[in-house]
Amino acid sequence: MAILSDRDIKKCLKTGEIEINPLEDIERQVQPSSVDLRIGSEFKGFRIIKKPFIDPKDPEDLDSYMESMHIDEGESFIIHPNEFALATTYEKVKIPDNFVARVEGRSSMGRLGITMHVTAGYIDAGFEGKITLEISNIGKMPVALYPGQRACQIVFETMTSNADMPYGHPERDSKYMGQTRPESSRIKQDYELKK
């Protein structure tokens, strides 16, 4: 596996092998080995609930503990210390069947104590949609997040061959294919929890 350079990223964007839409400013967003992505305007945060725990087998439980909110342009979403929220990238991405990608936080955000993904920074070959960001504030001060600001970066890697069953394949359980807004966990759809 090899990480794509800026030259190869631009070439793949030009040929349509990789799609990132809308890409506002290719010269500013394409970095030496990644592409900066912006945060969208849709967020999901935890409600304060009176349940002792989240049960991934309870079909009604997962949707009940989060609420959605839309942040208008020029307004901000405030993430407080020790808080967790979901958001999406402003851009929609399409990964070919012979690439994988990773989402990483920008160092400018990390220096504020903001992480952009908890564990799910990996994007499978064949994925298409907006990328859900799992945002945490591990700092000591609240931080304002603005829709449209560059918040993370995507890194592309080539695979040794095309995936036989890429993400979105009809026989694959691709729970988040084509997502356009932050999605709560769909862990209840995991085959081992359906037993």
- To the question of whether residue 109 is assigned a binding role by annotation, the answer is yes
Contact status, residue 104 vs residue 146, Cβ threshold 8 Å:
no
- To the question of whether residue 63 is assigned a binding role by annotation, the answer is no
Number of neighbouring beta carbons within 10 Å of residue 120: 13
Say which amino acid occupies 75: E
Number of neighbouring beta carbons within 10 Å of residue 78: 12
- To the question of whether residue 134 is assigned a binding role by annotation, the answer is yes
Place of tokens 């993904």: 117
- To the question of whether residue 122 is assigned a binding role by annotation, the answer is no
Which residue among 19, 104, 134, 183 is the active-site one? 134
The CA distance from 11 to 106, in Å, is 23
- To the question of whether residue 179 is assigned a binding role by annotation, the answer is yes
- To the question of whether residue 66 is assigned a binding role by annotation, the answer is no
- To the question of whether residue 174 is assigned a binding role by annotation, the answer is no
19 carries an active-site annotation? no
- To the question of whether residue 165 is assigned a binding role by annotation, the answer is no
| CA distances for 44 relative to 79, 110, 124, 136, angstroms | 11, 20, 23, 12
Give me the active site residues, please. 134
Binding-site members for dCTP are: 106-111, 124, 132-134, 153, 167, 175, 179
Annotated binding site: 106-111, 124, 132-134, 153, 167, 175, 179
